[in-house]
Amino acid sequence: MGFKEIVKRFLGYRGTIATATVVKEGEEERRLSGYRFYLDYLIKDRVAAVALAIITLFTAWSIVEGILQYVGFATRHRALGWALLPSNPIALNFAESLKPPSLSHFPAYIFGTNFSGESILSRLLYAAPKDALAAYLVVFSGIIIGMLVGTFAGYFGGWADEVLMRVTDAFLALPGLVLAIALSVLLGAGYNSVLISLILIWWPTYARFFRAQALSLKSRGFVEASKLSGQNSLMIILRHIFPNSVDPVIAYAALDFGNVILTYSTLAFLGIGIQPPYPEWGSMSSNGLPYFPQNWWWAIIPGLVIMTVVVCFTLIGDRMQDLIGGRLTY
């Protein structure tokens, strides 16, 4: 196997595919419906399949661990939160302080320990549900708010559209991170205030996107036809505009989960969000800052974990954008 083949295998590329049409031998054409089509293609693509597997694992773990933590808090048995973990993520044990990654006490110390002797692996696993929840919640509420606001503004036009464009202009004039910092500091410390500020700043991009879709769809033949046949606007939006504008946004959203995780963990790195002693990927990394570079694992390993998860989301999003064959415009 030559270099070319290896790289091709590694990246799983088969040239550019312009449309979502699968052509089989003998001229039989079939168009798979949205999700089936994506899934079908992504599973065949090795790298994307690995990325998909990692994301599935991350999500599944987050759900299980998240439920355990929630039930633990609700029933005042917090230990339930670390029942599945190699060790208690918030138990101080200074005897094991600052152990480098090793195979002893497998698997608790494979990522080493921090100053308080807590296993970094346990802390990473314990914090995962928070990142997953942030990513899914922020993106989905962004899509929902953006879809409602953007579609109606684009479809009806006029002053509502003008106001929407100006408001989103103002939001997009600021880097998301800076606005998120300002908002969450004003809202006060805590996980919820970070979630609220992320949701507040995340929708304008989607509103712009859905607006553009509505604008181009409303002059298309099938929408004109429904208008002429006397359907009311609400029905047209529900039947035609929404379903047709969601498809391309899925690819962007896949990529966006990664963006949320990056912003969320950067906020955590700056000390905004979940407060000690509870762990959080970004803040774990920043807590290691004073011990850097002697105890490099403390700062670097959480960063690597964030990167792995984000790369997987980016990769899936990128492949999906290739598949639908277009860059998004908004």
Partner 1 sequence: MSVLEVRDLVVEYSTVYGVLRAINHLSFEVGEAESVGVVGESGSGKSTLGLSVVRLLPPNARYAGGSIILDGQEVTRMSNSEARRIRGTTAFMIFQDPLNSLNPVKKVSTQLLEAVEMRCKKLGETYDVEKATREVVEKIRDVRIPDPELIMERYPHQLSGGQIQRVIIAMALLMRPKLLIADEPTSALDVTIQAQVLKLMNDLKKEYGMSIMLITHDISVAYNISDRIMVMYAGELVELGSADGVIRSPMHPYAKALIASIPRGVMRDAPLEPIRGSPPNMIHPPSGCRFHPRCPFVMDVCRREEPREVHQDARVVRCYLYG
Partner 2 sequence: MQISILIYLVRRVINAVVTLLLLIFLIFVLVHTIAPTPVALARIYCGSPHCPPAELQVIIQQYGLSLPLPVQFAHYVVNIFHGNFGTDTLYKVPELQVIGELLPITLELVITGLIFAVIIGLFTGSIAAANRNNPVDYTVKAVYLVTWSAPVFLVGFILQLFLAYELKLLPPSGLANPTLGNPSPVTGYPYLSVVPQPLQGWLSGLVRAITSPPLIAAAVDGDWRFFVSGLHHLVLPALAIAITSFGVVTRLTRASMIDALDRDYVKLSFMKGLSKNRVVYGTAFRNAVIPIITLIALLFGFSTAGAVVIEDIFQYHGMGYFTVQAIYNLDYIAILAITIVVGISVIAANLVADLLYGWADPRVRLE
What are the residues binding partner 2 (CB under 8 A)?
3-4, 7-8, 10-11, 13, 15-16, 166-167, 169-171, 173-179, 181-183, 185-187, 200, 258, 262, 265-266, 269-272, 282, 285-286, 289, 292-293, 296, 299-300, 303-304, 306-307, 310-311, 313-315, 318, 327
Q: Are 181 and 267 in contact (CB under 8 A)?
A: yes
- Identify the H or E element spanning 45: none
Q: What is the DSSP-derived secondary structure letter of residue 275?
A: P
CB of 176 to partner 2, least distance (A): 7
CB of 41 to partner 1, least distance (A): 12
Partner in contact with 252, chosen from partner 2, partner 1, none, beta carbon below 5 to 8 Å by kind: none
Q: Return the bridge partners of 23, or none.
A: 29
CB of 296 to partner 2, least distance (A): 6
Burial of 65 (0-12, 13-18, 19+ CB in 10 A): buried
Residue 104 tokens, joined: 């002893």
Instruction: Give the nearer residue to partner 2 in terms of CB position, either 69 or 205.
Output: 205
Partner in contact with 176, chosen from partner 2, partner 1, none, beta carbon below 5 to 8 Å by kind: partner 2
Q: Are 122 and 89 in contact (CB under 8 A)?
A: yes
Instruction: Give the nearer residue to partner 1 in terms of CB position, either 42 or 199.
Output: 42
Instruction: Give the nearer residue to partner 2 in terms of CB position, either 133 or 185.
Output: 185
CB of 310 to partner 2, least distance (A): 4
Q: What is the DSSP-derived secondary structure letter of residue 23?
A: E
CA–CA separation, 82 and 126 (whole Å):
7
> Can the peptide bond before residue 293 be classed as cis, meaning omega within 30 degrees of 0?
yes
Instruction: Give the nearer residue to partner 2 in terms of CB position, either 88 or 286.
Output: 286
CB of 261 to partner 2, least distance (A): 9
Instruction: Give the nearer residue to partner 2 in terms of CB position, either 14 or 220.
Output: 14
Partner in contact with 62, chosen from partner 2, partner 1, none, beta carbon below 5 to 8 Å by kind: none
Partner in contact with 282, chosen from partner 2, partner 1, none, beta carbon below 5 to 8 Å by kind: partner 2
Partner in contact with 27, chosen from partner 2, partner 1, none, beta carbon below 5 to 8 Å by kind: partner 1
Partner in contact with 258, chosen from partner 1, partner 2, none, beta carbon below 5 to 8 Å by kind: partner 2
CA–CA separation, 142 and 132 (whole Å):
15
CA–CA separation, 315 and 223 (whole Å):
34
Q: Are 206 and 142 in contact (CB under 8 A)?
A: yes
φ, ψ (nearest 5 deg) of residue 22: -100, 120
Q: Is 327 left (phi over 0), alpha (psi -120 to 50) or beta?
A: beta
Chain residues that interact with partner 1, rule: CB under 8 A: 14-15, 17, 23, 26-27
Which residue from 279, 327, 251 is spatially nearest to 38, judged by alpha carbons?
251
CB of 248 to partner 2, least distance (A): 16
Residue entry with tokens 């039930």: 71
- Tell me the HSE value of 124 on the side-chain side, using a 13 A CA sphere: 25
Partner in contact with 185, chosen from partner 2, partner 1, none, beta carbon below 5 to 8 Å by kind: partner 2
Instruction: Give the nearer residue to partner 1 in terms of CB position, either 16 or 219.
Output: 16
Q: What sign for the dihedral angle of Cα 14, 20, 24, 27? A: negative
CB of 262 to partner 1, least distance (A): 34
CB of 15 to partner 1, least distance (A): 5
Instruction: Give the nearer residue to partner 1 in terms of CB position, either 17 or 54.
Output: 17
- Tell me the HSE value of 140 on the side-chain side, using a 13 A CA sphere: 6
Partner in contact with 143, chosen from partner 1, partner 2, none, beta carbon below 5 to 8 Å by kind: none
Q: What is the DSSP-derived secondary structure letter of residue 113?
A: B
